[in-house]
């Protein structure tokens, strides 16, 4: 019985990752502005990789390999938001037509 619960949770996590990544792909293709595309891809990729890593931890059981997957989750948590932020900062500083797409705050 416990094996079926573990398999069901594993399947749900993989299905959630598939749905999240599909939504991210549609978000990247639907949005016209680059900052919106960056946001959709960064959120979708981060959540999908975490779901797959949690599913792998659940599948392998709690072992040394699970610790490695936990380090992958930690690495994704640390690097993905930072890379999305740096790419959006690059767009913010180099796009000359930024005021047409977003509202800029004046100090």
pLDDT in tens, 50-106: 899 889 898 888 889 889 888 988 888 888 888 888 888 888 888 777 777 777 677
* Residue indicated by tokens 């502005």: 33
Looking at residue 94, what is its pLDDT? Answer: 84
Residues 5-27 as b or e (16 or more Cβ within 10 Å = b)? eeeeebeebbebbeebbebbeeb
Gap between the Cα atoms of 14 and 25, Å rounded: 17
Gap between the Cα atoms of 13 and 20, Å rounded: 10
pLDDT in tens, 2-42: 889 989 999 999 999 999 999 989 888 888 887 788 888 88
Looking at residue 8, what is its pLDDT? Answer: 93
Looking at residue 107, what is its pLDDT? Answer: 61
The secondary structure of residue 40, as a DSSP letter, is H
Phi and psi for 52 in degrees, rounded to 5?
A: -65, -40
């Amino acid at each position: 019985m416990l094996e079926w619960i573990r398999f069901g949770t594993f399947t749900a996590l993989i299905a959630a990752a598939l749905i999240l990544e599909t939504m991210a792909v549609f978000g990247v293709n639907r949005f016209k502005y680059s900052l919106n595309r960056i946001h959709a891809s960064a959120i979708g990729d981060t959540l999908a990789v975490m779901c797959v890593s949690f599913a792998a931890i659940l599948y392998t059981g709690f072992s040394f390999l699970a610790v490695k997957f936990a380090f992958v989750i930690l690495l994704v948590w640390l690097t993905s938001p930072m890379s999305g932020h740096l790419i959006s900062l690059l767009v913010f500083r180099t796009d000359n037509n930024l005021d047409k797409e977003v509202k800029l705050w004046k100090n």
